[in-house]
């Protein structure tokens, strides 16, 4: 891991402790997770105790303290998607990837995550793969979308 890159991120936020969450979000978006060394660096540079950092990293859903897969699959479980069959979408995603929600497979291909709403509720049920939304997704279409991921 490139510590100087972590430093750049911290500098971008003027090294302010109040930007802690924003700094962690930036690190997370680059690495897909929060590596320990990165957190140590943040801890030193911002002068905030490690306990506060871990508290934040576990409180907010966006953060992961373990490595994530190359492909991020998000299944919306929001109310609009729920009444249009989100559970069946999730069941199928779990079946196709062999990964339970909140988990990553052993060869780091897929991470499956449920989310509360992706803000495309009119198109429910919605699944998001690597940032791309798939609206009105039918369970029978899921395998082909996921099999396209390398």
Partner 1 sequence: MTRLSSPEKLECARKDIVSRIDPTKPCISVCAGAGCLASGAAEVIAAFKTELEFHGLTTEVNTKGTGCPGFCERGPIVMIYPEGICYLKVKPEDVPEIVSHTIKEKKVVDRLLYEDPATGTRALRESDIPFYKNQQRNILSENLRLDSKSMDDYLAIGGYSALSKVLFQMTPEDVMGEIKKSNLRGRGGGGFPAWRKWEESRNAPDPIKYVIVNADEGDPGAFMDRALIEGNPHSILEGLIIGAYAVGAHEGFIYVRQEYPLAVENINLAIRQASERGFVGKDILGSGFDFTVKVHMGAGAFVCGESSALMTALEGRAGEPRPKYIHTAVKGVWDHPSVLNNVETWANVTQIITKGADWFTSYGTAGSTGTKIFSLVGKITNTGLVEVPMGVTLRDIITKVGGGIPGGKKFKAVQTGGPSGGCIPEAMLDLPVDFDELTKAGSMMGSGGMIVMDEDTCMVDIARYFIDFLKDESCGKCTPCREGIRQMLAVLTRITVGKGKEGDIELLEELAESTGAALCALGKSAPNPVLSTIRYFRDEYEAHIREKKCPALSCKEMIAFHIDPEKCKACGSCFRQCPAEAIQGGKKLIHIIDQEKCTKCGTCLDVCPSRFGAVRKISGEPVPAPVPEDKRAIA
Query: Where in 21-50 is the site for ligand FES (CB under 6 A)?
Result: none
Nearest partner of 130 among 47, 60, 82, 73, judged by Cα: 73
Return the residue of 64, 73, 78, 110 that touches partner 1, per CB under 8 A.
78
Q: Tell me the window of 19-27, 38-46, 64-72, 116-124 that interacts with ligand FES (CB under 6 A).
A: 116-124
In the DSSP assignment, the letter for residue 134 is E
Closer by beta carbon to partner 1, 25 or else 149:
25
Q: According to the binding rule CB under 8 A, does residue 31 interact with partner 1?
A: no
Cis ω before 15 (30° cut-off from 0) = no
Closer by beta carbon to partner 1, 4 or else 117:
117
Strand ranges inside 1-150, DSSP E: 71-76, 103-104, 110-115, 127-129, 132-134
81 is in an annotated binding site: yes
Using the CB atoms, write b or e for 103-133: b if 16+ within 10 Å.
bbeeeebbbbbbbeebebbebbbbbbbeeee
The 64-83 contact track toward ligand FES, x by CB under 6 A, reads ------------x-xxxx--
Closer by beta carbon to ligand FES, 84 or else 109:
84
Q: From the annotation, which residues make up the binding site? A: 76, 81, 117, 121
Q: From the annotation, which residues make up the binding site for [2Fe-2S] cluster? A: 76, 81, 117, 121
């Amino acid at each position: 891991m490139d510590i100087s890159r972590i430093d750049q991120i911290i500098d971008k936020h003027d090294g302010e402790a109040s930007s802690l969450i924003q700094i962690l979000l930036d690190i997370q978006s680059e690495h897909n997770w929060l590596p320990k060394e990165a957190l140590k660096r943040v801890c030193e540079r911002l002068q905030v105790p490690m306990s506060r950092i871990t508290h934040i990293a576990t409180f907010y859903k966006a953060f992961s303290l373990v490595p994530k897969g190359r492909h991020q699959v998000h299944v919306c479980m929001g109310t609009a998607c729920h009444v249009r069959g989100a559970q069946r979408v999730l069941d199928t995603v779990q079946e196709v990837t062999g990964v339970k929600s909140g988990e990553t497979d052993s060869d780091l291909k897929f991470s499956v995550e449920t989310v509360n709403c992706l803000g495309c509720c009119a198109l429910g049920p919605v699944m998001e793969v690597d940032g791309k939304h798939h609206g009105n997704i039918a369970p029978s279409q899921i395998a082909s979308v996921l099999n396209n991921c390398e």
